[in-house]
């Protein structure tokens, strides 16, 4: 299911219970520095995300478990994947590992991949990524999808909010830029 104004509260419930400190997938949209980000009000992030949703300037797909309900009686959201045109992610493109990636036209980014704690390692992330690839291939202007996994031997699940490298490799992504902690992987959407 796509993130819309109708599904926003269910999306918010996932984020509020996920230990991501009130981000609501706004980190890469944020124009301030990391110190300012740490002081940002979660309610403001939520409101900013809703504004982007209403303006159709942010994109995400949600994984829903129709058999279960959240505290408000809505179908339970078990995961989300944020998909954005790379050029719209100011903070990402200003960070050292992601500068100078070339033209951004038609290049999309996996901005966040969040899976509910009890649902990890059950195939939810793989299903969301497959759905994202299908969704983007329906857009004739989409050229590629980039992923920015964080590498490290002792990362906690919460530190892999960009998705694990192995997920993208299994889906056919190739390494476009090597980096000891922050590689860039890419999947061509057109042959």
Give the domain CATH number at 89: 3.40.630.30
Q: Is residue 3 part of a domain?
A: no
**Spatial CA neighbour of 38 closest among 16, 21, 13:** 21
Q: What pTM was computed for the model?
A: 0.93
Range of the domain at 22: 8-188
- How many helices and strands, by DSSP H and E, does the chain display? 6, 6
**144-147 and 184-188 beta bridge pairing:** antiparallel
Q: Is residue 184 part of a domain?
A: yes
Domain count, the chain: 1
Q: Is residue 126 part of a domain?
A: yes
pLDDT tens digit string along 61-75? Answer: 999 998 998 888 888
180 pLDDT more than 70? yes
pLDDT tens digit string along 151-179? Answer: 988 888 777 888 999 999 999 999 999 99
pLDDT tens digit string along 131-143? Answer: 999 999 999 999 9
- Greatest mean pLDDT among 12-16, 73-77, 129-133 lies in 129-133
Q: Is residue 19 part of a domain?
A: yes
């Amino acid at each position: 299911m796509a993130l819309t104004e109708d599904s926003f509260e269910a999306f918010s419930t996932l984020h509020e219970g996920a230990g991501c400190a009130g981000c609501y997938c706004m980190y890469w949209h944020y124009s301030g520095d990391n110190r300012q980000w740490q002081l940002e009000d979660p309610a403001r992030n939520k409101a900013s995300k809703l504004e982007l949703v209403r303006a159709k300037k942010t994109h995400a797909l949600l994984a829903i478990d129709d058999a279960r309900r959240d505290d408000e009686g809505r179908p339970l959201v078990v995961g989300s994947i944020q998909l954005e045109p790379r050029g719209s992610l100011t903070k990402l493109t200003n960070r050292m590992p992601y500068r100078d990636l070339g033209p951004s036209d038609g290049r999309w980014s996996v901005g966040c991949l969040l899976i509910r704690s009890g649902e990890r390692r059950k195939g939810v992330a793989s299903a969301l990524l497959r759905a994202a690839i299908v969704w983007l291939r329906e857009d004739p202007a989409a050229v590629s999808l980039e992923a920015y996994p964080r590498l490290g031997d002792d990362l906690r699940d919460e530190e892999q909010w960009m998705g694990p490298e192995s997920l993208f490799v299994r889906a056919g992504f190739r390494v476009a830029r090597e980096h000891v902690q922050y590689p860039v992987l890419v999947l061509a959407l057109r042959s």
